[in-house]
């Protein structure tokens, strides 16, 4: 933050609610909500403890009653984000018809919804993840790998069963996952595009990329 007036934000700086994976109320929750907003719009390294305290109308030292250090706040947000994401994918997968097409559709739909409904969390999870030490990032990394595996697994089963004709499964999977990651960079909640429409469109785009016949 600091002195030079930065007018452009990376992401919306609206005050968005946290997911249910966060603590329900109290100062700890307020800190997380405010940090989320600041980390998303200015970045972790460009947000100081003083910026955070100022936005909370607290003194910097007060934060240390709730978090051991600045990076623990980020780690908690990253954890919350990954848990919300993973749970959404797991639920979608469990509720889908047990076919690769249905599963990919469900996974991409859920992946998109999470990114569009929680763009700040998605921004922090995707862009500020690398500011964490390996130790603090580890729990999130596990979920990240499992989520990717779910999608890759469905793609490969679909290919084996002849429903998909991917040009290159790994490249295509990266493209599909990336479609979601980019959402907070351009999507505006409350704008002209509905979250549900976006999720459906992304699901169909994924199937098109995979060469699924009926998706024209």
**CA–CA separation, 161 vs 156, rounded Å?**
9
Residue 94 binds: one of DNA, a second copy, none (C-beta under 5 to 8 A by kind): none
x/- track of binding to a second copy for residues 47-86 (CB under 8 A): ------------------------x---------------
Least separation in angstroms between residue 54's CB and DNA is 9
Q: List binders of a second copy among 143-202 (CB under 8 A).
A: 165, 167-168, 170-172, 174-175, 177-179, 181-182, 185-186, 193, 197-198, 201-202
Rg (CA), the chain: 19
Number of residues in contact with DNA, rule: CB under 7 A? 23
Angle between helices 195-209 and 169-181 (to 10 degrees): 170
The mark string for 9-48 relative to DNA (x by CB under 7 A, - otherwise) is -----------------xxx------------------xx
The dihedral sign for the CA sequence 39, 44, 50, 51: negative
Q: With binding defined as CB under 7 A, does residue 7 bind DNA?
A: no
Joined tokens for residue 97:
């018809």
Is residue 181 within 8 A of residue 115, CB to CB? The reply is: yes
Out of 23, 43, 60, 189, the only residue in the binding site for a second copy (CB under 8 A) is: 43
Of 10, 29, 43, 60, the one binding DNA by CB under 7 A: 60
Residue-wise burial string across 104-114, b where 16 or more C-beta atoms lie within 10 A, e elsewhere: bbbbbbbbbbb
End-to-end CA distance of the chain: 47
CB nearer to a second copy: give 46 or 87. 46
CB 59 within 8 A of CB 68: no
Q: How far apart, in whole angstroms, are the C-alpha atoms of residue 124 and residue 51? A: 17
* Residue 24 contact among DNA, a second copy, none, beta carbon within 5 to 8 Å by kind: none
Site mask, DNA, residues 66-105, x = CB under 7 A?
x-xxxx----------------------------------
DSSP-based three-state secondary structure for 200: helix
Binding site for DNA (CB under 7 A): 1-3, 26-28, 47-51, 58-62, 64-66, 68-71
């Amino acid at each position: 933050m600091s002195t030079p007036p930065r007018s452009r934000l990376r992401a919306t700086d609206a005050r968005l609610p946290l997911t249910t994976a966060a603590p329900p109320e109290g100062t700890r929750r307020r800190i997380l909500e405010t940090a989320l907003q600041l980390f998303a719009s200015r970045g972790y390294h460009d947000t100081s403890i003083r910026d955070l305290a100022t936005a909370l109308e607290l003194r910097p030292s007060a934060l240390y009653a709730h978090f051991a250090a600045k990076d623990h706040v980020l780690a908690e947000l990253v954890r919350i984000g990954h848990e919300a994401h993973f749970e959404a994918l797991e639920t979608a997968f469990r509720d889908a018809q047990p076919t690769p097409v249905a599963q990919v559709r469900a996974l991409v739909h859920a992946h998109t919804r999470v990114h569009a409904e929680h763009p700040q969390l998605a921004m922090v999870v995707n862009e500020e993840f690398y500011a964490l030490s390996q130790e603090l990032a580890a729990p999130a990394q596990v979920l990240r790998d499992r989520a990717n595996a779910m999608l890759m697994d469905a793609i490969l089963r679909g290919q084996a069963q002849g429903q998909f004709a991917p040009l290159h499964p790994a490249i295509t999977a990266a493209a599909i996952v990336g479609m979601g990651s980019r959402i907070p960079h351009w999507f505006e909640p409350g704008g002209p595009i509905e979250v549900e429409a976006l999720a459906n469109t992304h699901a169909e785009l994924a199937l098109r990329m995979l060469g699924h016949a009926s998706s024209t």
